[in-house]
């Protein structure tokens, strides 16, 4: 990880990806709450199954 001289600089650097994600992730506002929850649950189940079946050293599961 990079070293930052000031904590403020680190906070700005770390918050940039979150701002981009929040800007483009409007799915919760476009679908009903129940539908969004069902889709999210399905994605989490798939991600959990991937983690259980893939146990390679150093392997990462990105959802």
* Cα 60 to Cα 2, 33, 52, distances in angstroms: 21, 30, 12
* Contact in structure between 51 and 59 (CB atoms under 8 Å): no
* Contact in structure between 48 and 40 (CB atoms under 8 Å): no
* Exposed e or buried b per residue across 39-60, where buried means at least 16 C-beta atoms within 10 angstroms of its C-beta: eeeeeeeeeeeeeeeeeeeeee
Q: Write out pLDDT tens, residues 3-36.
A: 778 888 888 888 888 888 777 776 667 788 898 8
pLDDT band at 62 (very low <50, low <70, confident <90, very high): low
């Amino acid at each position: 990880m990079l070293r930052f001289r000031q904590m403020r600089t680190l906070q700005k650097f770390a918050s940039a990806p979150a701002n981009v994600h929040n800007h483009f992730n409007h799915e919760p506002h476009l679908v009903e709450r129940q539908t969004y929850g069902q889709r999210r649950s399905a994605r989490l189940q798939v991600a959990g199954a991937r983690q259980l079946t893939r146990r390679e050293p150093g392997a990462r599961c990105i959802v």
